Protein backbone atom coordinates (compact mmCIF):
# COMPACT_ATOMS: atom_id res chain seq x y z
CA UNK A 1 0.00 0.00 0.00
CA UNK A 2 2.76 2.46 0.96
CA UNK A 3 1.36 6.04 0.77
CA UNK A 4 -2.10 6.33 -0.81
CA UNK A 5 -4.10 9.52 -1.34
CA UNK A 6 -7.88 9.43 -1.60
CA UNK A 7 -9.47 12.47 -3.25
CA UNK A 8 -12.95 13.29 -4.43
CA UNK A 9 -12.94 13.74 -8.20
CA UNK A 10 -16.20 15.68 -8.60
CA UNK A 11 -17.90 18.30 -6.40
CA UNK A 12 -17.63 16.28 -3.21
CA UNK A 13 -20.06 13.74 -1.73
CA UNK A 14 -18.61 10.99 -3.91
CA UNK A 15 -18.45 8.41 -1.12
CA UNK A 16 -14.92 8.93 0.20
CA UNK A 17 -15.91 7.79 3.69
CA UNK A 18 -16.76 4.26 2.59
CA UNK A 19 -13.66 3.89 0.42
CA UNK A 20 -11.32 5.18 3.14
CA UNK A 21 -13.01 2.81 5.57
CA UNK A 22 -12.34 -0.11 3.19
CA UNK A 23 -8.72 0.86 2.55
CA UNK A 24 -8.01 1.36 6.24
CA UNK A 25 -7.77 -2.41 6.62
CA UNK A 26 -4.33 -2.23 4.96
CA UNK A 27 -3.23 1.07 6.52
CA UNK A 28 -1.30 1.75 9.69
CA UNK A 29 -2.26 5.42 9.90
CA UNK A 30 -4.99 7.53 8.29
CA UNK A 31 -4.29 11.24 7.76
CA UNK A 32 -6.92 13.92 7.14
CA UNK A 33 -5.07 16.71 5.30
CA UNK A 34 -7.43 19.62 4.53
CA UNK A 35 -10.87 21.13 5.09
CA UNK A 36 -12.81 21.31 8.31
CA UNK A 37 -16.11 20.21 9.77
CA UNK A 38 -17.82 21.35 6.57
CA UNK A 39 -16.98 17.82 5.37
CA UNK A 40 -19.28 14.89 5.89
CA UNK A 41 -18.15 11.29 5.44
CA UNK A 42 -20.67 8.49 5.92
CA UNK A 43 -19.67 4.92 6.79
CA UNK A 44 -22.16 2.07 7.07
CA UNK A 45 -20.90 -1.08 8.75
CA UNK A 46 -22.67 -3.96 10.48
CA UNK A 47 -25.95 -2.13 10.08
CA UNK A 48 -24.60 0.93 11.91
CA UNK A 49 -24.33 4.32 10.21
CA UNK A 50 -21.58 6.73 11.24
CA UNK A 51 -21.36 10.34 10.07
CA UNK A 52 -17.87 11.81 10.44
CA UNK A 53 -16.86 15.42 9.91
CA UNK A 54 -13.38 16.03 11.33
CA UNK A 55 -12.16 12.67 12.56
CA UNK A 56 -10.74 10.38 9.84
CA UNK A 57 -12.93 7.44 8.82
CA UNK A 58 -10.20 5.06 9.97
CA UNK A 59 -11.20 5.70 13.60
CA UNK A 60 -13.78 2.91 13.29
CA UNK A 61 -10.98 0.33 12.95
CA UNK A 62 -9.34 -0.79 16.23
CA UNK A 63 -5.56 -0.67 16.18
CA UNK A 64 -5.29 2.10 13.58
CA UNK A 65 -3.92 5.57 14.24
CA UNK A 66 -5.68 8.66 12.88
CA UNK A 67 -4.07 12.06 12.34
CA UNK A 68 -5.61 15.48 11.73
CA UNK A 69 -2.86 17.37 9.94
CA UNK A 70 -1.82 21.02 9.61
CA UNK A 71 -3.86 21.61 6.43
CA UNK A 72 -7.11 21.13 8.35
CA UNK A 73 -8.91 23.96 10.14
CA UNK A 74 -10.38 22.61 13.36
CA UNK A 75 -13.30 23.81 15.45
CA UNK A 76 -12.39 22.64 18.98
CA UNK A 77 -16.01 22.48 20.12
CA UNK A 78 -17.05 20.46 17.06
CA UNK A 79 -14.04 18.17 17.53
CA UNK A 80 -14.94 17.42 21.16
CA UNK A 81 -18.61 16.92 20.28
CA UNK A 82 -17.72 14.41 17.55
CA UNK A 83 -15.49 12.50 19.96
CA UNK A 84 -18.26 12.38 22.58
CA UNK A 85 -20.79 11.11 20.03
CA UNK A 86 -18.48 8.35 18.78
CA UNK A 87 -17.50 7.30 22.30
CA UNK A 88 -21.18 7.07 23.22
CA UNK A 89 -21.52 4.48 20.46
CA UNK A 90 -18.62 2.41 21.73
CA UNK A 91 -15.81 3.77 19.53
CA UNK A 92 -12.55 3.94 21.47
CA UNK A 93 -10.84 7.32 21.04
CA UNK A 94 -7.72 8.31 22.99
CA UNK A 95 -4.50 10.21 22.23
CA UNK A 96 -3.05 6.79 21.38
CA UNK A 97 -5.19 6.42 18.25
CA UNK A 98 -6.05 10.05 17.41
CA UNK A 99 -3.64 12.98 17.11
CA UNK A 100 -3.96 16.59 15.97
CA UNK A 101 -1.11 18.62 14.50
CA UNK A 102 0.32 21.36 16.67
CA UNK A 103 0.16 23.55 13.55
CA UNK A 104 -3.54 23.01 12.85
CA UNK A 105 -5.39 26.34 12.74
CA UNK A 106 -8.40 26.72 15.00
CA UNK A 107 -11.85 27.94 14.01
CA UNK A 108 -12.88 30.54 16.57
CA UNK A 109 -16.44 31.65 17.41
CA UNK A 110 -15.99 34.88 15.44
CA UNK A 111 -15.07 32.92 12.30
CA UNK A 112 -18.46 31.18 12.18
CA UNK A 113 -20.32 34.40 12.96
CA UNK A 114 -18.54 36.26 10.17
CA UNK A 115 -19.05 33.38 7.71
CA UNK A 116 -22.80 33.34 8.32
CA UNK A 117 -23.10 37.14 8.22
CA UNK A 118 -21.37 37.34 4.84
CA UNK A 119 -23.45 34.56 3.31
CA UNK A 120 -26.66 36.14 4.52
CA UNK A 121 -25.60 39.49 3.10
CA UNK A 122 -25.06 37.98 -0.36
CA UNK A 123 -28.79 37.47 -0.84
CA UNK A 124 -29.44 35.69 -4.15
CA UNK A 125 -25.68 35.50 -4.87
CA UNK A 126 -24.89 33.00 -2.11
CA UNK A 127 -21.83 30.81 -2.59
CA UNK A 128 -23.31 27.93 -0.63
CA UNK A 129 -20.96 27.94 2.36
CA UNK A 130 -21.91 25.77 5.32
CA UNK A 131 -21.43 28.77 7.62
CA UNK A 132 -19.02 26.90 9.88
CA UNK A 133 -16.21 29.46 9.69
CA UNK A 134 -13.94 27.49 7.37
CA UNK A 135 -13.20 30.34 4.94
CA UNK A 136 -12.59 33.06 7.56
CA UNK A 137 -10.23 30.72 9.44
CA UNK A 138 -8.18 30.08 6.29
CA UNK A 139 -8.19 33.86 5.68
CA UNK A 140 -6.56 34.43 9.08
CA UNK A 141 -4.05 31.69 8.30
CA UNK A 142 -3.05 33.44 5.07
CA UNK A 143 -3.00 36.82 6.84
CA UNK A 144 -0.64 35.32 9.48
CA UNK A 145 -2.93 36.19 12.36
CA UNK A 146 -4.39 32.71 12.84
CA UNK A 147 -4.60 30.84 16.13
CA UNK A 148 -2.98 27.41 16.01
CA UNK A 149 -3.60 24.39 18.20
CA UNK A 150 -0.24 24.80 19.92
CA UNK A 151 -1.32 28.27 21.11
CA UNK A 152 -3.76 26.62 23.53
CA UNK A 153 -0.81 25.75 25.76
CA UNK A 154 0.37 29.38 25.84
CA UNK A 155 -2.42 31.39 27.48
CA UNK A 156 -0.70 34.81 27.29
CA UNK A 157 -0.07 34.33 23.55
CA UNK A 158 -3.64 33.09 23.01
CA UNK A 159 -5.08 36.11 24.84
CA UNK A 160 -2.90 38.50 22.84
CA UNK A 161 -3.98 36.98 19.52
CA UNK A 162 -7.67 37.05 20.43
CA UNK A 163 -7.44 40.70 21.50
CA UNK A 164 -5.75 41.61 18.22
CA UNK A 165 -8.17 39.65 16.06
CA UNK A 166 -11.34 40.91 17.73
CA UNK A 167 -10.46 44.51 16.94
CA UNK A 168 -10.83 43.63 13.26
CA UNK A 169 -13.55 40.98 13.49
CA UNK A 170 -15.91 43.10 15.58
CA UNK A 171 -15.53 45.96 13.09
CA UNK A 172 -16.42 43.61 10.24
CA UNK A 173 -19.39 42.15 12.10
CA UNK A 174 -20.71 45.65 12.76
CA UNK A 175 -20.72 46.29 9.00
CA UNK A 176 -23.15 43.38 8.67
CA UNK A 177 -25.17 44.70 11.64
CA UNK A 178 -24.22 41.68 13.73
CA UNK A 179 -23.16 41.72 17.41
CA UNK A 180 -19.46 41.43 18.19
CA UNK A 181 -17.58 39.42 20.82
CA UNK A 182 -15.76 40.34 24.00
CA UNK A 183 -12.32 38.92 24.70
CA UNK A 184 -13.64 37.20 27.82
CA UNK A 185 -16.51 35.66 25.87
CA UNK A 186 -14.16 34.08 23.33
CA UNK A 187 -11.71 32.93 26.00
CA UNK A 188 -14.54 31.29 27.93
CA UNK A 189 -15.86 29.52 24.83
CA UNK A 190 -12.46 28.18 23.83
CA UNK A 191 -11.27 27.21 27.31
CA UNK A 192 -13.27 24.00 27.86
CA UNK A 193 -12.86 22.45 24.41
CA UNK A 194 -9.29 23.72 24.21
CA UNK A 195 -8.40 21.93 27.43
CA UNK A 196 -9.89 18.69 26.08
CA UNK A 197 -7.98 19.11 22.81
CA UNK A 198 -4.53 19.59 24.36
CA UNK A 199 -3.76 15.90 25.10
CA UNK A 200 -4.33 15.03 21.42
CA UNK A 201 -1.69 17.45 20.06
CA UNK A 202 1.41 15.98 18.38
CA UNK A 203 4.08 16.61 15.75
CA UNK A 204 2.27 14.97 12.84
CA UNK A 205 5.04 15.23 10.19
CA UNK A 206 7.41 13.50 12.60
CA UNK A 207 4.88 10.76 13.34
CA UNK A 208 4.31 10.16 9.63
CA UNK A 209 8.07 10.05 9.01
CA UNK A 210 8.51 7.45 11.77
CA UNK A 211 5.76 5.32 10.26
CA UNK A 212 7.40 5.51 6.82
CA UNK A 213 10.82 4.53 8.23
CA UNK A 214 9.24 1.51 9.83
CA UNK A 215 7.72 0.46 6.52
CA UNK A 216 4.16 1.36 7.52
CA UNK A 217 1.27 2.06 5.18
CA UNK A 218 -0.22 5.56 5.17
CA UNK A 219 -3.62 6.59 3.87
CA UNK A 220 -4.27 10.28 3.19
CA UNK A 221 -7.94 11.26 3.33
CA UNK A 222 -9.17 14.34 1.52
CA UNK A 223 -12.44 16.21 1.99
CA UNK A 224 -14.81 17.85 -0.52
CA UNK A 225 -13.95 17.31 -4.22
CA UNK A 226 -11.42 18.39 -6.84
CA UNK A 227 -13.88 20.76 -8.53
CA UNK A 228 -14.14 22.66 -5.23
CA UNK A 229 -10.39 23.31 -5.02
CA UNK A 230 -9.61 26.94 -4.18
CA UNK A 231 -7.17 27.22 -7.11
CA UNK A 232 -8.54 24.75 -9.64
CA UNK A 233 -12.26 24.51 -8.93
CA UNK A 234 -15.29 26.37 -10.27
CA UNK A 235 -14.28 29.64 -8.63
CA UNK A 236 -15.85 31.47 -6.77
CA UNK A 237 -18.13 28.52 -5.93
CA UNK A 238 -15.33 26.60 -4.23
CA UNK A 239 -14.07 25.69 -0.78
CA UNK A 240 -11.14 27.45 0.91
CA UNK A 241 -8.44 24.77 0.65
CA UNK A 242 -6.61 22.64 -1.91
CA UNK A 243 -8.67 19.51 -2.40
CA UNK A 244 -6.52 17.99 -5.17
CA UNK A 245 -3.89 15.37 -4.34
CA UNK A 246 -1.10 17.95 -3.99
CA UNK A 247 -2.88 19.17 -0.88
CA UNK A 248 -1.89 15.93 0.85
CA UNK A 249 1.76 16.92 0.70
CA UNK A 250 1.41 20.52 1.85
CA UNK A 251 -1.40 19.72 4.26
CA UNK A 252 0.41 16.98 6.17
CA UNK A 253 4.11 17.73 5.82
CA UNK A 254 5.24 14.91 3.54
CA UNK A 255 7.31 15.02 0.36
CA UNK A 256 5.34 14.78 -2.93
CA UNK A 257 7.47 11.86 -4.14
CA UNK A 258 6.26 9.75 -1.22
CA UNK A 259 2.68 9.66 -2.54
CA UNK A 260 2.64 6.46 -4.56
CA UNK A 261 -1.04 5.92 -5.42
CA UNK A 262 -3.77 8.49 -6.08
CA UNK A 263 -7.28 7.07 -5.88
CA UNK A 264 -10.02 9.28 -7.30
CA UNK A 265 -13.48 8.66 -5.87
CA UNK A 266 -16.07 9.00 -8.64
CA UNK A 267 -19.83 8.76 -8.33
CA UNK A 268 -21.59 6.93 -11.18
CA UNK A 269 -23.54 10.12 -11.84
CA UNK A 270 -22.84 13.73 -10.80
CA UNK A 271 -24.05 15.73 -7.81
CA UNK A 272 -23.43 19.17 -6.41
CA UNK A 273 -24.52 20.95 -3.20
CA UNK A 274 -25.19 24.66 -3.09
CA UNK A 275 -24.64 27.22 -5.82
CA UNK A 276 -22.40 27.09 -8.86
CA UNK A 277 -22.46 25.90 -12.47
CA UNK A 278 -23.50 22.31 -13.19
CA UNK A 279 -23.63 21.49 -16.94
CA UNK A 280 -25.28 18.04 -16.70
CA UNK A 281 -27.81 18.91 -13.97
CA UNK A 282 -31.22 17.27 -14.30
CA UNK A 283 -33.95 19.57 -13.03
CA UNK A 284 -36.79 17.22 -13.97
CA UNK A 285 -38.33 14.09 -12.46
CA UNK A 286 -35.23 12.07 -13.32
CA UNK A 287 -33.08 14.38 -11.21
CA UNK A 288 -35.47 13.90 -8.31
CA UNK A 289 -35.39 10.13 -8.86
CA UNK A 290 -31.58 10.08 -8.58
CA UNK A 291 -31.76 12.20 -5.42
CA UNK A 292 -34.24 9.86 -3.76
CA UNK A 293 -32.61 6.62 -4.91
CA UNK A 294 -29.13 7.82 -3.98
CA UNK A 295 -30.25 9.48 -0.71
CA UNK A 296 -28.56 12.64 -1.94
CA UNK A 297 -28.80 14.89 1.09
CA UNK A 298 -25.79 16.57 2.71
CA UNK A 299 -24.25 14.74 5.67
CA UNK A 300 -23.23 18.02 7.30
CA UNK A 301 -26.16 20.31 6.44
CA UNK A 302 -28.95 18.02 5.26
CA UNK A 303 -29.32 20.12 2.11
CA UNK A 304 -30.66 18.27 -0.95
CA UNK A 305 -28.01 17.67 -3.60
CA UNK A 306 -28.47 18.64 -7.22
CA UNK A 307 -28.18 15.58 -9.46
CA UNK A 308 -27.21 15.04 -13.10
CA UNK A 309 -25.62 12.78 -15.66
CA UNK A 310 -22.04 11.54 -15.48
CA UNK A 311 -19.67 14.27 -16.74
CA UNK A 312 -16.42 12.97 -18.21
CA UNK A 313 -15.18 16.50 -18.97
CA UNK A 314 -14.86 17.62 -15.36
CA UNK A 315 -13.36 14.25 -14.49
CA UNK A 316 -10.65 14.58 -17.14
CA UNK A 317 -9.69 17.78 -15.37
CA UNK A 318 -9.56 16.00 -12.00
CA UNK A 319 -7.44 13.19 -13.43
CA UNK A 320 -5.00 15.72 -14.84
CA UNK A 321 -4.84 17.88 -11.70
CA UNK A 322 -4.37 15.08 -9.18
CA UNK A 323 -2.54 12.52 -11.30
CA UNK A 324 -5.22 9.96 -10.46
CA UNK A 325 -3.86 6.45 -10.95
CA UNK A 326 -7.08 4.53 -10.31
CA UNK A 327 -10.77 5.11 -9.73
CA UNK A 328 -13.13 3.91 -7.04
CA UNK A 329 -16.61 4.08 -8.58
CA UNK A 330 -19.50 4.54 -6.14
CA UNK A 331 -23.29 4.31 -6.29
CA UNK A 332 -23.45 2.30 -9.49
CA UNK A 333 -26.49 0.58 -7.98
CA UNK A 334 -28.45 3.85 -7.97
CA UNK A 335 -28.63 3.78 -11.79
CA UNK A 336 -30.49 0.46 -11.87
CA UNK A 337 -34.00 0.54 -13.40
CA UNK A 338 -33.18 3.28 -15.91
CA UNK A 339 -33.83 2.41 -19.58
CA UNK A 340 -30.93 4.47 -20.84
CA UNK A 341 -28.00 6.42 -19.43
CA UNK A 342 -26.20 9.47 -20.74
CA UNK A 343 -22.56 10.43 -20.42
CA UNK A 344 -21.28 13.91 -21.18
CA UNK A 345 -18.16 13.42 -23.32
CA UNK A 346 -17.44 17.04 -24.36
CA UNK A 347 -18.77 20.60 -24.24
CA UNK A 348 -19.80 23.07 -26.91
CA UNK A 349 -18.31 26.41 -25.89
CA UNK A 350 -18.05 29.60 -27.94
CA UNK A 351 -18.55 27.69 -31.17
CA UNK A 352 -15.95 25.03 -30.39
CA UNK A 353 -15.96 21.50 -29.01
CA UNK A 354 -13.80 21.31 -25.89
CA UNK A 355 -12.79 18.34 -23.75
CA UNK A 356 -11.70 20.18 -20.60
CA UNK A 357 -13.63 22.81 -18.59
CA UNK A 358 -13.13 26.45 -19.63
CA UNK A 359 -11.01 28.43 -17.19
CA UNK A 360 -12.88 31.75 -17.28
CA UNK A 361 -14.95 32.59 -14.21
CA UNK A 362 -18.36 30.94 -14.57
CA UNK A 363 -17.31 29.69 -18.01
CA UNK A 364 -18.79 26.33 -17.04
CA UNK A 365 -22.17 28.04 -16.81
CA UNK A 366 -22.02 28.81 -20.53
CA UNK A 367 -21.21 25.38 -21.94
CA UNK A 368 -23.55 22.97 -23.71
CA UNK A 369 -22.92 19.32 -22.83
CA UNK A 370 -22.39 16.81 -25.63
CA UNK A 371 -23.93 13.46 -24.70
CA UNK A 372 -23.70 9.89 -25.81
CA UNK A 373 -26.36 7.39 -24.81
CA UNK A 374 -25.80 3.92 -23.36
CA UNK A 375 -28.21 1.14 -22.51
CA UNK A 376 -29.41 0.89 -18.93
CA UNK A 377 -30.16 -2.21 -16.87
CA UNK A 378 -32.99 -3.39 -14.64
CA UNK A 379 -31.14 -5.80 -12.34
CA UNK A 380 -30.57 -4.98 -8.67
CA UNK A 381 -26.80 -4.78 -8.07
CA UNK A 382 -26.84 -4.97 -4.27
CA UNK A 383 -25.71 -8.61 -4.17
CA UNK A 384 -22.91 -8.33 -6.75
CA UNK A 385 -19.47 -9.20 -5.37
CA UNK A 386 -17.58 -9.91 -8.60
CA UNK A 387 -17.45 -8.04 -11.87
CA UNK A 388 -19.05 -11.07 -13.53
CA UNK A 389 -22.11 -10.57 -11.30
CA UNK A 390 -22.89 -7.25 -12.97
CA UNK A 391 -25.23 -7.15 -15.97
CA UNK A 392 -23.57 -6.59 -19.35
CA UNK A 393 -24.91 -3.02 -19.61
CA UNK A 394 -23.40 -2.09 -16.21
CA UNK A 395 -20.03 -3.55 -17.21
CA UNK A 396 -20.22 -1.60 -20.46
CA UNK A 397 -20.95 1.61 -18.56
CA UNK A 398 -17.83 1.10 -16.43
CA UNK A 399 -15.66 0.28 -19.45
CA UNK A 400 -16.83 3.42 -21.24
CA UNK A 401 -15.79 5.52 -18.23
CA UNK A 402 -12.34 3.95 -18.35
CA UNK A 403 -12.02 4.73 -22.07
CA UNK A 404 -13.07 8.35 -21.64
CA UNK A 405 -10.81 8.99 -18.64
CA UNK A 406 -7.91 6.67 -19.52
CA UNK A 407 -7.79 5.49 -15.91
CA UNK A 408 -8.72 2.00 -14.63
CA UNK A 409 -11.69 1.49 -12.33
CA UNK A 410 -10.34 -0.72 -9.53
CA UNK A 411 -13.19 -0.55 -6.99
CA UNK A 412 -16.95 -0.60 -7.66
CA UNK A 413 -19.41 0.13 -4.88
CA UNK A 414 -22.90 -1.36 -5.32
CA UNK A 415 -24.37 -0.31 -1.97
CA UNK A 416 -23.58 1.65 1.19
CA UNK A 417 -22.33 -1.27 3.32
CA UNK A 418 -18.66 -2.27 3.51
CA UNK A 419 -19.38 -5.67 1.95
CA UNK A 420 -21.24 -4.26 -1.05
CA UNK A 421 -18.01 -3.74 -2.94
CA UNK A 422 -16.34 -5.25 -5.99
CA UNK A 423 -12.52 -5.21 -6.21
CA UNK A 424 -11.28 -5.54 -9.80
Q: Mean pLDDT, to the nearest integer, of 137-151?
A: 97
Q: Mean pLDDT, to the nearest integer, of 142-163?
A: 96
Active site residue 164: no
Q: Mean pLDDT, to the nearest integer, of 245-273?
A: 95
Task: Answer whether 374's CB lies under 8 Å from 340's CB.
Answer: yes
Task: Answer whether 322's CB lies under 8 Å from 9's CB.
Answer: yes
pLDDT, greater one: 50 or 89: 89
Q: Mean pLDDT, to the nearest integer, of 16-38?
A: 91
pLDDT, greater one: 354 or 50: 354
Q: E strands of 13-64, at which residues?
A: 29-32, 41-45, 48-52
pLDDT at 122: 84
Going from the C-alpha of 228 to that of each of 41, 95, 112, the distances in angstroms are 16, 32, 20
Q: Mean pLDDT, to the nearest integer, of 320-340?
A: 97
Tell me how crowded residue 168 is: count the other CB atoms within 10 A of its CB.
14
Q: Is the dihedral of CA 261, 7, 75, 254 positive or negative?
A: positive
Q: Each residue of 166-218: pLDDT tens digit?
A: 999 999 999 999 999 999 999 999 998 999 999 999 999 999 999 999 999 99
Confidence band, pLDDT 50/70/90 cuts, at residue 302 = confident
pLDDT at 275: 87
pLDDT at 42: 77
Q: Mean pLDDT, to the nearest integer, of 395-409?
A: 98
Catalytic residue among 21, 28, 41, 333: 41
Confidence band, pLDDT 50/70/90 cuts, at residue 300 = low
* pLDDT at 299 exceeding the cut of 80: no
Q: E strands of 242-350, at which residues?
A: 261-267, 270-272, 306-308, 310-311, 326-330, 340-349
pLDDT at 329: 98
3-state secondary structure of 82: helix
Distance (Å, whole) CA 314 – CA 269: 12
| H helix and E strand count, the chain | 11, 20
Distance (Å, whole) CA 61 – CA 91: 9
Number of residues assigned to the chain: 424
Q: Each residue of 46-81: pLDDT tens digit?
A: 778 888 899 998 898 999 999 999 999 999 999 999
Sequential DSSP letters for 323-379: T--EEEEE-GGGGTT-SEEEEEEEEEETTEEESS---STTGGGG-EEEEEEEE---S
pLDDT at 362: 87
Catalytic residue among 13, 21, 115, 140: 13
pLDDT at 174: 96
Task: Please name the helix (run of DSSP H) or strand (run of DSSP E) that holds residue 423, with its range, or none.
Answer: strand 421-423
Task: Answer whether 375's CB lies under 8 Å from 293's CB.
Answer: no
Active site residue 232: no
3-state secondary structure of 176: coil
Q: Mean pLDDT, to the nearest integer, of 103-124?
A: 93
Q: Mean pLDDT, to the nearest integer, of 231-250?
A: 95
* pLDDT at 1 exceeding the cut of 70: no
Q: Mean pLDDT, to the nearest integer, of 5-12?
A: 96
Q: Mean pLDDT, to the nearest integer, of 17-32?
A: 91
Distance (Å, whole) CA 253 – CA 98: 17
Amino acid sequence: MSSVVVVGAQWGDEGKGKVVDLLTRDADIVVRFQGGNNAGHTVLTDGQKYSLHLIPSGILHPGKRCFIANGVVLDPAAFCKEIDELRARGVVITPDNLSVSLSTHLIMPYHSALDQARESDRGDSKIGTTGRGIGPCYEDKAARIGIRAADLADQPLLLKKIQHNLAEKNALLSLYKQPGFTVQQVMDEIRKSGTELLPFLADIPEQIAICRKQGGNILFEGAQGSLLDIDHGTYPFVTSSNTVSGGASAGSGVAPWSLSRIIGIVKAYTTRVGSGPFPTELTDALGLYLREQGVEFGVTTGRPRRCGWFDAVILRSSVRLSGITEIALTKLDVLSSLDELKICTAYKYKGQTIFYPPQEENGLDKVEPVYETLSGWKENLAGARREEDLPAAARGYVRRMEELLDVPVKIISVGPDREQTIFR
